[in-house]
């Protein structure tokens, strides 16, 4: 493709071209490509070419919840991700009965490797080992203390697809579960947690390395009780998720997170529920009645219930807050790729997977390329 503004691993190229062959990036050059016989050239019309974005936390889209027990729900999320500039994602659960979680895992396994849209690069289980005191929209009927024997069933069912588990480490058995998961190479994330500063610091020492939807569903910062957020700020190896939807985080907090952690320590997510892409209305999610009004999803008591933001809109919102385009793109692509141990994704670089997104000046998706092929809803 040619005549594009490229956000490459080496920096922004104001006018450049990118060559793709066999699903990989083979050349990145300044200027336009020279037309030659046998070479298919896409004209980017001066639009913005960025690496494919990676969502490590998404529950559903277009009326489909990945916990609804159907294979189709996984397929629709894959397709919707692709249409909104996300080329890879972690299928994310909510707290549930064990049989419902195992069914969701089985459905993901049936789709993984056969996706029509964004690639499934793993599974993220959010819960059920979460603190009722900080439950947010998680259904307390399913919340319980960490149970390694139960977790072994999940690990066995998911195999190498299990990439991330969000827990509250202060619960009985929580620290032991942190160790168990890290020994198996699974990312331990913390949220829906009332962990103190000391408890969080111990969890980070044992191997926890990520904060799910930072600031939401956790003990807040107090000057005599700093809690897990300040503990996470102090640990260089701990990265933070951010929902940048004009609702979950104040702009000043997003800028503070970026100032402390930098683009390499911050990950943009959607945390989207199945109302994403449908608009306002009444829905069921995680066993709760959810009302979406003006794009904001809430339980009846006003508790925020995930989000309806898409990755391209989260990227736009981040840039509009004053964070540089290059850093915002990094937080949406390369940082989550590095978090997941996927060095071939999340970057426009020689030899990387040809997962890329062309955006207009309003961050609307012109097209999404996955593995060198442009995604089409009708293909």
List active site positions: 271
| Helix-then-strand count for the chain, H and E | 10, 20
The DSSP line for 150-219 is HHHHHHHHHGGGEEEEEE-TTSTTHHHHHHHHHHTT-EEEE-SB---HHHHHHHHHHT--EETTTTSSBP
Calpha distance 153→109 (Å, rounded): 15
Question: Do 5 and 18 contact (CB within 8 A), yes or no?
Answer: no
Calpha distance 85→366 (Å, rounded): 9
Who contacts 131 (Cβ-Cβ below 8 Å, separation ≥6)? 143, 168, 170, 171, 192, 193, 194
Calpha distance 60→93 (Å, rounded): 9
CA-CA-CA-CA torsion sign (114, 150, 67, 334): negative
Question: Do 98 and 90 contact (CB within 8 A), yes or no?
Answer: no
Calpha distance 304→375 (Å, rounded): 32
Q: Which two tokens stand for residue 377?
A: 């809803």
């Amino acid at each position: 493709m040619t005549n594009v503004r490229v956000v490459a691993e080496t920096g922004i190229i104001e006018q450049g071209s990118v060559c793709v062959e066999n699903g990989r990036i083979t050349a990145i050059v300044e200027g336009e490509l020279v037309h030659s016989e046998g070479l298919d050239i896409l004209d980017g019309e001066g639009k913005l070419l960025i690496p494919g974005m990676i969502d490590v936390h998404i529950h559903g889209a277009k009326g489909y919840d990945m916990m609804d027990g159907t294979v189709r729900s996984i397929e629709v999320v894959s397709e919707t991700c692709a249409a909104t500039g996300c080329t890879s994602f972690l299928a994310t659960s909510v707290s549930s009965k064990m049989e419902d979680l195992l069914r969701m895992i089985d459905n993901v396994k049936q789709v993984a490797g056969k996706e029509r849209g964004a690639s499934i690069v793993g599974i993220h289980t959010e819960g059920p080992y979460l603190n009722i005191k900080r439950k947010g929209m998680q259904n307390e009927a399913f919340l319980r203390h960490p149970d390694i024997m139960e977790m072994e069933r999940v690990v066995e069912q998911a195999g190498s697809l299990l990439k991330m588990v969000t827990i509250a480490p202060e619960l009985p058995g929580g620290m032991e579960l942190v160790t168990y998961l890290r020994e198996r190479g699974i990312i331990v994330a913390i949220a829906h947690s009332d962990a103190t500063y000391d408890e969080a610091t111990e969890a980070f020492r044992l191997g926890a390395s990520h904060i799910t939807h930072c600031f939401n569903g956790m003990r807040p910062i107090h000057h005599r009780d700093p809690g897990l957020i300040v503990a996470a700020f102090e640990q260089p190896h701990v990265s933070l998720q951010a929902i940048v939807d004009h609702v979950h985080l104040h702009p000043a907090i997003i800028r503070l997170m970026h100032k402390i952690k930098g683009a390499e320590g911050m990950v943009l997510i959607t945390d989207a529920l199945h109302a994403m892409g449908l608009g306002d209305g009444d829905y069921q999610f995680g066993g709760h009645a959810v009302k979406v009004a003006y794009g904001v999803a809430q339980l009846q008591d006003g508790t925020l219930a995930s989000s309806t933001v898409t990755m391209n809109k989260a990227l736009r919102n981040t840039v509009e807050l004053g964070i540089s385009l290059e850093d915002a793109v990094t937080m949406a692509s390369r940082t989550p790729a590095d978090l997941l141990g996927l060095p071939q994704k999340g970057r426009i670089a020689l030899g990387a997977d040809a997962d890329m997104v062309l955006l207009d000046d309003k961050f609307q998706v012109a097209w999404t390329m996955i593995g060198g092929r442009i995604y089409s809803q009708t293909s």
